[in-house]
Amino acid sequence: MQIAALTRYGRQAASTRQRLLQYIPALNAAGVDVSFQSLLDDEYIRSLAAGGTFSRLDVASSYLRRLRGLLSGPPADILWIYAELFPYLPGWFERLALSRTRAIVYDFDDAFFHNYDASPNPLVRTLLGRKLEPLLRRATACCCGNAYLEEYASRFCERTIVLPTVVDTAHYTPRIAPADPGKPLVIGWIGSPTTWRYMRALVPLLAELVRERGVRVRVVGAGPKAEQDRFPGLELLDWAESREAADVQGMDIGIMPVPDEIWALGKSGYKLVQYMACGLPVVASPVGVNRDIVAHGASGFLATTPAEWKRFLSLLLDDADLRLRMGLAGRKRAQEDYSLAVHAPRLVGLLKSVAQPEVDQRARLGAAEI
């Protein structure tokens, strides 16, 4: 069975690694061959992370390269599409490009449709507000990162499943060595330059905890955007795939603040899964999928107001046994519900079931020609 996978970004993007690349070994083991192509390469992501710009000519060339590949590329049993094929081009353009394609599996873990239907630009809302609908109607099946996304996809696609964004819990594990009691406790956040804005409301509170309790705050992946928010005790780390799990293991508490807005409802809670898989207690905003991932009072806390954030963080900072109990509960939850081991067989089964009618049809045509 042949699958052609098309993503927005290369391996540098967490979405590509977690929604597609980490499943390839399981797919290969099941006899599925996957070819992978990104619209924009890793240099684009590195440029954005560094606060730079990217050549519009290079972006246009990437769009043309993808279009040529769709119109003339080798056939596959399934086209596996993450997010969209041509951002900010009309939906009919994608439908035209897919005219030769057989089965399509669409995958998303964020509310990309709100880039269009909730855009502050009225022209974008008018021209592109229903952009994703043709692609969803054309899809044989949709893999959705959470229930909010599935509700949207199910309006247009008959076959949908919730496939959460997961981690390999054999790689994301609790740290083996106990924390050094002589070192400050670490409150940690991992993300990207685009999601750092969600952290800004907590910066004064975190700085206060540093002053009052001598803790440290570790921020991974925020890029240059976080430099203007720097305070004593704030540790800014560049993201690197090779040490991603180790950077999380070096934290004592993981946090995920998000605003209560439609943009956040599509979030997959990936950083919460990373924290919990590493045995960390968590504090998060009770928005969207966070309410499903975090069992309040068991694996962590859900906090809304600054007073709640400070109270729950203080409880965890003051009680090592509570941190341990919640960390163990979170680890168990990650293994049972948000692990690659649990969900890889589900995805393999879905893709094979989608491809089988196409494989059977080609076999019948081949037999007829003999």
Does residue 360 surpass a pLDDT of 60? no
User: Quick one: average pLDDT of 275-279?
Assistant: 98
**In this structure, are residues 138 and 104 in contact, taking their beta carbons and an 8 Å threshold?**
yes
User: Quick one: average pLDDT of 67-73?
Assistant: 82
CA 177 centroid distance within chain: 29
- Nearest CA among 280, 265, 79, 286 for reference residue 179: 280
User: Quick one: average pLDDT of 169-182?
Assistant: 85
Q: Report the pLDDT value the prediction gives residue 367, as an integer from 0 to 100.
A: 42
Q: How confident is the model at residue 364 (pLDDT cuts 50, 70, 90)?
A: very low
User: Quick one: average pLDDT of 42-69?
Assistant: 81
Does residue 181 surpass a pLDDT of 90? no
Q: Report the pLDDT value the prediction gives residue 76, as an integer from 0 to 100.
A: 87
Q: Report the pLDDT value the prediction gives residue 74, as an integer from 0 to 100.
A: 63
Does residue 365 surpass a pLDDT of 70? no
Q: Report the pLDDT value the prediction gives residue 257, as an integer from 0 to 100.
A: 97
d(CA 103, CA 358): 8
Q: What are phi and psi of 144, to 5 degrees?
A: -115, 135
Q: Report the pLDDT value the prediction gives residue 58, as an integer from 0 to 100.
A: 87
Q: Report the pLDDT value the prediction gives residue 52, as an integer from 0 to 100.
A: 67
pLDDT tens per residue, range 219-236: 999 988 899 999 999 999
- Nearest CA among 135, 93, 95, 96 for reference residue 112: 135
Q: How confident is the model at residue 321 (pLDDT cuts 50, 70, 90)?
A: very high
Does residue 368 surpass a pLDDT of 50? no
d(CA 87, CA 188): 32
Does residue 356 or residue 14 have the better pLDDT?
A: 14
Does residue 165 surpass a pLDDT of 70? yes
Domains of the chain with bracketed CATH: 2-166+340-369 (3.40.50.2000), 186-337 (3.40.50.2000)
Q: How confident is the model at residue 2 (pLDDT cuts 50, 70, 90)?
A: very high
Q: Report the pLDDT value the prediction gives residue 96, as an integer from 0 to 100.
A: 76
Q: How confident is the model at residue 101 (pLDDT cuts 50, 70, 90)?
A: low
Q: How confident is the model at residue 333 (pLDDT cuts 50, 70, 90)?
A: very high
